[in-house]
Amino acid sequence: MTASVSIRNATKTYGPFKALDDVSLDIDAGEFIVLLGPSGCGKTTLLSILGGFTTPTAGSVSIGGRDMTGVAPARRPTTTMFQDYALFPHMRLVDNVGFGLRMRGLPKNERDDKAMGFLNLVGLKSAARKKPHELSGGQRQRVALARALAVDPDVLLLDEPLGALDLKLRRQMQDELKAIQQRVGTTFVHVTHDQEEAMAIADRIVVMNQGKVEDFGAPAEIHMRPKSLFSAGFMGEINFLQGRVREAANDGARVETPVGTVVLPAANFTIRKPVPGDDVTLCIRPEHFCDAASHSAVRLGEAHITASAFFGTHFRCHLAPMAANQLSLVAHMPQASAVRPGERIPLALDPSGVTALAVA
Ligand SMILES: Nc1ncnc2c1ncn2[C@@H]1O[C@H](COP(=O)(O)OP(=O)(O)OP(=O)(O)O)[C@@H](O)[C@H]1O
Helix (H) and strand (E) counts for the chain? 8, 19
pLDDT at 85 over 80: no
Q: Are 349 and 288 in contact (CB under 8 A)?
A: yes
> What does pTM read for this prediction?
0.91
Instruction: Give the β-pairing of 204-209 and 212-217.
Output: antiparallel
pLDDT (tens digit per residue) in 319-341: 999 988 899 999 998 766 667 88
| Average pLDDT value for residue range 106-135 | 92
DSSP string, 7-27: EEEEEEEETTEEEEEEEEEEE
| pLDDT in the model for residue 104 | 85
| pLDDT in the model for residue 307 | 93
pLDDT at 360 over 80: no
Candidate of 13, 36, 41 to mutate for ligand 1, largest count of ligand atoms within 8 Å of Cβ: 41
Protein residue whose Cα sits closest to atom 28 of ligand 1: 40
Measured in Å, residue 203 CA sits from the centre of ligand 1 at 25
Protein residue whose Cα sits closest to atom 4 of ligand 1: 14
Protein residue whose Cα sits closest to atom 25 of ligand 1: 39
| pLDDT in the model for residue 336 | 62
Protein residue whose Cα sits closest to atom 11 of ligand 1: 19
| pLDDT in the model for residue 173 | 86
Measured in Å, residue 333 CA sits from the centre of ligand 1 at 40
Q: Which atom of ligand 1 is nearest to the CA of 37?
A: 21
pLDDT (tens digit per residue) in 256-281: 999 999 999 989 998 678 889 999 99
pLDDT (tens digit per residue) in 167-181: 888 888 899 899 999
Protein residue whose Cα sits closest to atom 7 of ligand 1: 14
Q: Give the chain's domains with CATH numbers.
A: 5-233 (3.40.50.300), 239-358 (2.40.50.140)
Measured in Å, residue 210 CA sits from the centre of ligand 1 at 10
Sheet holding 204-209, edge to edge: 78-81, 155-159, 187-192, 32-36, 204-209, 212-217
Query: Is the Cα dihedral 249, 255, 261, 265 positive or negative?
Result: negative
- What does the alpha-carbon distance between residue 270 and residue 250 come to, in Å, rounded to a whole number? 14
Q: Which atom of ligand 1 is nearest to the CA of 14?
A: 4
ipTM, two decimals: 0.96
| pLDDT in the model for residue 129 | 93
| pLDDT in the model for residue 19 | 97
Measured in Å, residue 19 CA sits from the centre of ligand 1 at 6
| Average pLDDT value for residue range 296-320 | 89
Please tell me the chain's helix, strand, coil percentages from 3-state DSSP, rounded to the nearest 5.
30, 35, 35
Q: Which of 71, 76, 118, 72 minimizes the C-alpha distance to 93? A: 118
Phi, psi values for residue 314, rounded to 5°: -160, 170
| Average pLDDT value for residue range 83-112 | 89
Candidate of 11, 12, 17 to mutate for ligand 1, largest count of ligand atoms within 8 Å of Cβ: 17
Pocket of ligand 1 (CB under 6 A): 14, 19, 37, 39-45, 193
Protein residue whose Cα sits closest to atom 26 of ligand 1: 39
| pLDDT in the model for residue 335 | 64
| pLDDT in the model for residue 233 | 93
| pLDDT in the model for residue 271 | 61
